[in-house]
Amino acid sequence: MTTFKKTVTFKKLIALLTVAVLTFCMLSVACLSASAEDEVVTGTFGHFEYEIYDGEVCITGFTGEGGDVFIPNMIEDQTVVAIGEEAFWYCKDITAVSMPSSLEYIGARAFQGCSSLTSIALPDTVVEIASAAFCDCTSLREINIPADLIYVGSFAFDNTPWITRFEDNTSIILGGRILYKYLGDAQVVNIPTGVTAISGNAFQDKKNLTYVHIPDTMLFVGDYAFFGCDNLKSVSLPDSIYYMGAYSFGYKTLTESGEDDMTEGFVIYANDDTLPADYAKEYGIECKSFEYQPTMDELPEAEQCTAKELENPDKGKTAWIGNSNSVITLVIIVLSCSGIVGGLYLYFTIKEKKDKKAKAESKNNHNKK
């Protein structure tokens, strides 16, 4: 079954879901996905290849020469809601893309290597930008963060001028809620309250990290988020977490033989019957009852951060969070978008995609394609 089919199926159920019935809904969605296996329609529309599932369209390929590309809102009288995996992969002659106003999902590597693409205007309806979606777009200097965006995958904007302008800072938080990447080298890191997602590989190979504060607002932790943090020996995880990706905590860098190397003595502190507790069990990590976690006010002064706004006409309205001692230093928050919407939609979308991967394959997913 394609990622698109799962995305559409799960979206249809969101209006009926609540956190209290999360387990029941997960089972229901899985059944619906399986029963609709044969309902995908494929075709071409101009230079676009597409799939239609449950009345909604995913763009799966592009055969045009380049230039300005207009993706229609409708194909075959159905709404375009997704751009699939590698749909425009290395289309180096595309200079501009007009996105459909109904777009919700941009798949892995969808626009990777579109080196002539200079700007992207995303509709506020987009909820997920998957791994490496705009990676290696070496001319991309302008992109907005949609108001409804909930998750951004690993390497989504790597090697673009838009993201590299932020790399003098230690952390990049998109929309005030998605921690895309930590670039610092501190021993202690406080992820601010209000952050709801950590992108895959965000803290990978931060060898000095010994303590990270995960706020109660956290919903999603991506694949390999803290992979290779060899000196991080424990973490306290809140009940709020809906999704934890493969090898997100408790694993060192891969050995020369390619085997996973679990961090010796790693402990997850979490309440029973929560997703973090289930993650610990799945990966053979010790899980202990939730331990008291100090607030940032109780930690040394140098480990706290305060917020202030700086005016920068070249970068728009941006807030910088940090402290004078640079332990956590500067965190970028793009303020052009507002709050998080929902969470269950993304939970189902991402979880089902991850379940599709074999463990052997996922061992190598921490490296960019």
Q: Tell me, rounded to whole angstroms, the distance of Cα 47 from its chain centroid.
A: 29
**What span, in angstroms and rounded, lies between the C-alpha atoms of 162 and 109?**
17
pLDDT of 23 above 60: no
Q: What pLDDT shows up at residue 165?
A: 86
Is the pLDDT confidence value at 203 over 90?
Answer: yes
Other CB atoms within 10 Å distance of the CB of residue 98:
13
Number of H helices, E strands in the chain: 6, 25
Name the β-bridge partners of 114.
none
Residue scoring higher pLDDT (170 or 196): 196
Query: pTM of this prediction?
Result: 0.73
Mapped onto helix, strand or coil, the DSSP state of residue 245 is: coil
Strands 41-45 and 48-53: antiparallel
Encode pLDDT of 47-83 as tens digits.
Answer: 999 999 999 999 999 999 889 999 999 999 999 999 9
Domains in the chain (CATH in brackets) are 1-165+339-369 (3.80.10.10), 169-338 (no CATH)
- Tokens standing for 190? 């406080």
Tokens 């004078």, residue? 324
pLDDT tens readout for residues 97-143: 999 999 999 999 999 999 999 999 999 999 999 999 999 999 999 99
